[in-house]
DNA sequence: CTGAAAGCGCTTACAG
DNA sequence: CTGAAAGCGCTTACAG
């Protein structure tokens, strides 16, 4: 079942291939009669342009790579961040007539594959999600001259247009809330320090605490529930007097909630808990989680728009979205 | 910064384009000296084949479309099923040298786009995730003659190779567990009935209940936490004596847990709750959720292998994976 | 407004 | 084992 070609349509409509091409691509310089009959032939034959042929001559692919740089450990975690970013960006890109090629880049092998793919001219641009500071891809793609953008400020030295949110400010506000409620020993469960989100949220925590003349108390996690629970247990062991904890994301806050419950500590009575992200699960914990809302959907949209806008037309190479404290019952 | 072509490599190595092509594609019929010098030229020039040109002549694309057929309402839900399936399938496909093109098909417009894309010869195969019974795509793609597979038994009349899990059996086992624990009034929060998972899990519930001579009590949800909470409230209002509920997925079970908490009912004391899927969140609820484990990762892997295996070499066109009851504290 | 022709960068029979 | 040549299905100056 061979697909019909331009040639076939031309023959059927009794015109040249050039004319069919013009009609198919919506050029206005074709007479109405002819356009009409070409359209009919296209319809009858069920013609759809062969994209490989088209992209060979136009040097465009209308495809964008969405690169998720997560190591295997986190690949099977169920952080909703990925679904949300991937699906929002995907839908927006599709609306713009672009296709989304999803690429995992969590190992050196996978990174090499991504690089080869981009070098092979498969895509017109690349979007980075969840970048780590050791990621060699941005540098490599910069050399290839392919446009790129990043979800969040890049964790590497390469300067990449990006959409971020005010991670540090959000963290500061969370801690200020805890301080304002009279909490004295405020700990944090920090995220991975090779990621911007992890770094900035920790920085915000430190700023707020130090501004109040208090000493920081930090345990690190890796953004999974499991690691949040483990960090909370360490915190409880190291500093039994802890009466509040700011977790760098909601998943870790959920883990902390569980560890607290198992240790017999009441929330927020004994220990107040604040998360970050405001994922849907935050409304269903017991007690419902106070958290900092990260505008994930908006941020993904902004990133896509950045990539779709030619550099000359961009108002700015970076957009920073505000975060907002959502007070529920856990703090 | 034009990328080097075959031509350039050939010139540099002092051989014909045909020879370079053979070396690049790993054919064994090239003399070692020549191969050596071609490889050197490739290296020096940083040559990477242009995939559009290659696919124009080979008629292959080495790309696979992963079609997620969710309507907007669920697009922004954070069901981890999608991340898991998308990322597992993606990683496996990449390992096989295929690229994954992610496509959302939640509206008629989006469906048309997918169809056009597949018709345009962009992909060698398509994988359906989360299919609804009204989906016109399987039929359309069948006509195009492009190979396809489905995650779960297809919800449409088209016969598609697929990897499924034993949804009905799992549901039966869940209800049997409840019956065995002496529960008398066992309700279910069913999933969408235009999806196979929703249908089969409800069927399993009915089979088990009727086998025990009990009357079914059904409220429907749409697989979101919110809908699970709402269904639980309706159940409580309609039948205050309900002492157990089987939710067709964990997210709805989590919603039910919240509604029960708000209604002052103890779990499992007053009402036992069983979910389905065993997503990571199930281990972090209060109390931890008893649920039926769906082998999501294995199922995604099986689906990929099905697509990658030529029809003639397949042992079967459908693989059904077992489910397992995971007993925690909620039932 | 329409067409003839060149060319995008590869692969693959076909000769030798 | 290697090369000359045709051809994959399009688009786009260039003429007219």
Report residue A79 CA to chain centroid gap: 11
Is A117 or B163 the better-scoring residue by pLDDT?
B163
Asked whether residue A204 is domain-assigned, the answer is: yes
Distance (Å) from the C-alpha of residue B9 to the closest C-alpha of chain A?
A: 15
Is the separation of the CB atoms in A202 and A139 below 8 Å? no
| pLDDT > 90 in chain B, percent | 71
Q: Is B83's CB within 8 Å of A83's CB?
A: yes
| pLDDT > 70 in chain A, percent | 97
- Give the pLDDT band (50/70/90) at residue B102: confident
CA-to-CA distance for A63 and A34, rounded, in angstroms?
Answer: 32
Length B39 CA → C14 C1' (Å): 26
| B145 and B219 both lie in a single domain | no
DSSP secondary structure code for residue A64 in this structure: E
CA-to-CA distance for B100 and B66, rounded, in angstroms?
Answer: 7
With CA atoms as reference, the chain A residue closest to B49 would be A120
Q: Beta-carbon neighbour count of residue A251 at 10 Å?
A: 32
| A158 and A69 both lie in a single domain | yes
What is the model's pLDDT at position A51? Answer: 86
Asked whether residue A324 is domain-assigned, the answer is: no
Q: Is B78's CB within 8 Å of A53's CB?
A: no
For strand D, give the nucleotides within 7 A of a protein CB. 1-5, 7-13
Is the model's pLDDT at B150 over the cut of 80?
Answer: yes
Is the separation of the CB atoms in B287 and B271 below 8 Å? no
Determine the 3-state secondary structure of B212 from DSSP. coil
Is the model's pLDDT at B1 over the cut of 70?
Answer: no
Mean pLDDT across chain B: 92
Report residue A285 CA to chain centroid gap: 24
Domain of B241, CATH number, reads 3.40.50.2300
- Give the pLDDT band (50/70/90) at residue B227: very high
The mean per-residue pLDDT over the stretch A181-207 comes to 97
DSSP secondary structure code for residue A136 in this structure: -
What is the model's pLDDT at position A275? Answer: 98
User: What are the C-alpha distances in Å from B289 to residues A260, B236, B253, B275, B331?
Assistant: 18, 20, 8, 7, 8
Asked whether residue A152 is domain-assigned, the answer is: yes
| A73 and A190 both lie in a single domain | no
- The boundaries of the domain holding residue A77 are 63-163+297-319
| B73 and B123 both lie in a single domain | yes
Nucleotide with smallest C1' distance to residue B30 CA: D1
What is the model's pLDDT at position B305? Answer: 95
What is the model's pLDDT at position A72? Answer: 61
Range with lowest mean pLDDT among A28-42, A270-284, B256-270: A28-42
The mean per-residue pLDDT over the stretch A279-290 comes to 96
| A257 and A272 both lie in a single domain | yes
**pLDDT tens digits, B50-77:** 889 999 999 888 899 999 888 765 545 6
List A residues 240-299 in contact with B (Cβ-Cβ < 8 A): 254-255, 257-258, 261, 279-281, 283-284, 286, 297
- Chain A partners of B66 at a C-beta cutoff of 8 Å? 102
Number of domain units in chain B: 3
Distance (Å) from the C-alpha of residue B179 to the closest C-alpha of chain A?
A: 28
Is the model's pLDDT at A185 over the cut of 80?
Answer: yes
What is the model's pLDDT at position A321? Answer: 98
Domain of B38, CATH number, reads 1.10.260.40
Asked whether residue B87 is domain-assigned, the answer is: yes
Q: Is B102's CB within 8 Å of A103's CB?
A: no
- Chain A partners of B89 at a C-beta cutoff of 8 Å? none
| B251 and B223 both lie in a single domain | yes
The mean per-residue pLDDT over the stretch B283-297 comes to 96
| A156 and A181 both lie in a single domain | no
**Out of A46, A76, A258, closest to residue B84 by CB:** A76
Is A117 or B212 the better-scoring residue by pLDDT?
B212
Q: Is B100's CB within 8 Å of A103's CB?
A: yes
Task: Using CB atoms within 10 Å of the CB of residue A34, give its burial: 0 to 12 exposed, 13 to 18 middle, 19+ buried.
Answer: middle
Distance (Å) from the C-alpha of residue A266 to the closest C-alpha of chain B?
A: 13
| A288 and A177 both lie in a single domain | yes
Asked whether residue B327 is domain-assigned, the answer is: no
Q: Is B281's CB within 8 Å of A78's CB?
A: yes
Asked whether residue A54 is domain-assigned, the answer is: no
The mean per-residue pLDDT over the stretch A257-281 comes to 97
| A250 and A205 both lie in a single domain | yes
Task: Using CB atoms within 10 Å of the CB of residue B326, give its burial: 0 to 12 exposed, 13 to 18 middle, 19+ buried.
Answer: middle
What is the model's pLDDT at position B101? Answer: 86
Range with lowest mean pLDDT among A78-87, B22-31, B250-259: A78-87
| A199 and A127 both lie in a single domain | no
B3 touches chain A (CB under 8 A): yes
Asked whether residue A282 is domain-assigned, the answer is: yes
Q: Is B104's CB within 8 Å of A91's CB?
A: yes
Length A245 CA → C6 C1' (Å): 70
| A286 and A238 both lie in a single domain | yes
The mean per-residue pLDDT over the stretch A126-150 comes to 94
What is the model's pLDDT at position B208? Answer: 98
Which position has the token pair 């398509």? Answer: B126
Q: Is B80's CB within 8 Å of A84's CB?
A: no
Size of interface A-B (CB pairs under 8 A): 155
Length B315 CA → C13 C1' (Å): 35
Q: Which residue, counting CA atoms, is nearest to the C1' of nucleotide D11?
A: A57
| B185 and B228 both lie in a single domain | yes
Is the model's pLDDT at B236 over the cut of 80?
Answer: yes
The mean per-residue pLDDT over the stretch B294-308 comes to 95
Asked whether residue B185 is domain-assigned, the answer is: yes
| pLDDT > 70 in chain B, percent | 97
């Amino acid at each position: 079942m061979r697909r019909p070609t331009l040639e076939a349509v031309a023959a059927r409509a009794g015109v040249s291939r050039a004319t069919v091409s013009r009609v198919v691509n919506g050029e206005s310089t074709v007479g109405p009669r002819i356009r009409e009959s070409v359209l009919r032939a296209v319809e009858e034959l069920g013609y759809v342009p062969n994209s490989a042929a088209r992209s060979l001559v136009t040097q465009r692919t209308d495809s964008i790579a969405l690169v998720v740089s997560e190591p295997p450990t986190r690949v099977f975690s169920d952080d909703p961040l990925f679904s949300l970013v991937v699906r929002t960006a995907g839908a927006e890109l599709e609306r713009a007539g672009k296709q989304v090629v999803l690429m995992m880049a969590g190992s050196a092998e996978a990174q090499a594959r991504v690089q080869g793919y981009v070098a092979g001219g498969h895509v017109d641009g690349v979007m980075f999600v969840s970048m780590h500071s050791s990621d060699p891809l941005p540098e490599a793609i910069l050399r290839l001259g392919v446009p790129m953008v990043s979800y969040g400020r890049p964790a590497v030295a390469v300067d990449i247009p990006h959409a971020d949110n005010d991670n540090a400010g959000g963290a500061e506000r969370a801690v200020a809330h805890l301080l304002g409620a009279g909490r004295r020993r405020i700990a944090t469960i920090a995220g991975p320090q090779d990621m911007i989100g992890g770094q900035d949220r920790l920085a915000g925590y430190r700023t707020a605490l130090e501004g109040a003349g208090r000493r920081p108390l930090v345990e690190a996690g890796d953004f999974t529930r499991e690691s949040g629970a483990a960090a909370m247990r360490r915190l409880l062991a190291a500093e039994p007097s802890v009466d509040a904890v700011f977790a760098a994301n909601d998943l870790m806050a959920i883990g902390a909630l569980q560890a607290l419950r198992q240790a017999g500590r009441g929330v927020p009575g004994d220990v107040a808990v604040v998360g970050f992200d405001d994922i849907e699960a935050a409304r269903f914990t017991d007690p419902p989680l106070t958290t900092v809302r990260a505008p994930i959907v908006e941020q993904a949209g902004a990133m896509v728009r950045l990539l779709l806008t030619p550099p000359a037309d961009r108002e700015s190479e970076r957009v920073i979205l505000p975060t907002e404290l959502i007070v529920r019952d856990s703090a």
